[in-house]
Structure 1
């Protein structure tokens, strides 16, 4: 693996989670110094120590991305520790409630939008001045396949991740001429600890509608993030990149009774694959 990000400072939110952890590890392997931001310090401690043992400069910060003041303080502290942020990865996300829309409470709705949409806005706004001054910056927003197709009984999550695509487009329109790229990644089902705890019938059904017939790996998302943060991706801007094993495609089968039977069997859990 090369050192495409040598000399760069990368900030990863939600760094203690499955995808965030893999992103941090990959960016460190590419040579970046790491700013890890998460709501809970214990989620970052082990990761930070492992990265430091490998020779990566690391600065950790506890902050709620939904709180503008906490975000500003964290970015300022990170700047003092490692220097201005060159690459921002807005990975922190939340699903506050899974329920029919009519039963979604005001606080739950507000919290999901605050973390999943307003949070990235806070981070982008905080790092942009330094990026503009240096005429170089990389912003990667982790959205979701739900941003395009919706997600059953997860209206807040779907709406907030869709809004993140609009934010991505506007950053590109306003700042591309100043050497800054802003792209969105739309993961499908990724094998995080949360996904691994899904009830088998739910997992099997998701796999039956995914052409790849497996969940994605966090390392695969991290590899895409690393590319988008590199100089090689300088002309890729305002893009919405699916990483979903083809699950965004129409899953209907009208020309093969055998394939229909195999999918029904998979959905019923008769031959679960991972």
Structure 2
């Protein structure tokens, strides 16, 4: 029998499942630098009581479980939502008037409710509002923040008016936990690029382990997903109940 080795690269896709457990449209997760599948069984064991050795005389598998670990390199909004159990919100560009700012002193920094700001005008809360001179503050447009240099003689709180660009945001831990379908389409570099496919029918992801916000290398998102049993399939079925691995001869 010829030897077969595995040196893999490829793409990992994820999909929502329909009411029957079938995958909907697949979404590529982008650059995944590592993908590791692990299987584990739980055994019930019986030890004998007659030889003085307490040897194991019977072992029966009573549980099966599998996990998949992914290291994702592309930090886009959809991948973030998957990793932080969140929902993506798309805020269109627009304008704001009368946004009340917290009371400040010289040297304080205040963030607006929206980033990507332009045309900022700040007024005070006097009975006849006075527009604050632009020499008394400095706007950080990209981050939507303002640094105050001088607030002498002004009636606070300040009110801000500005325009802002469109932005996508991902809230953490506000999405309904769902089971997904996972598919790996790889090439085996050790066997002349032979295709290999791994399908996991029902995976349930844990939140990301960490996201390095300050680092000297490219940030990555590492997640672990439990591979659950798919009750819609039977153990004797060609597909199995957890997943399958398909090896295809190189063309």
Q: State whether TM-score is above 0.5.
A: no
If the length of structure 2 is used for normalisation, what is the TM-score?
0.20
TM-score, normalisation: structure 1: 0.18
Q: More helix by proportion, 1 or 2?
A: 1
Larger relative strand fraction:
2
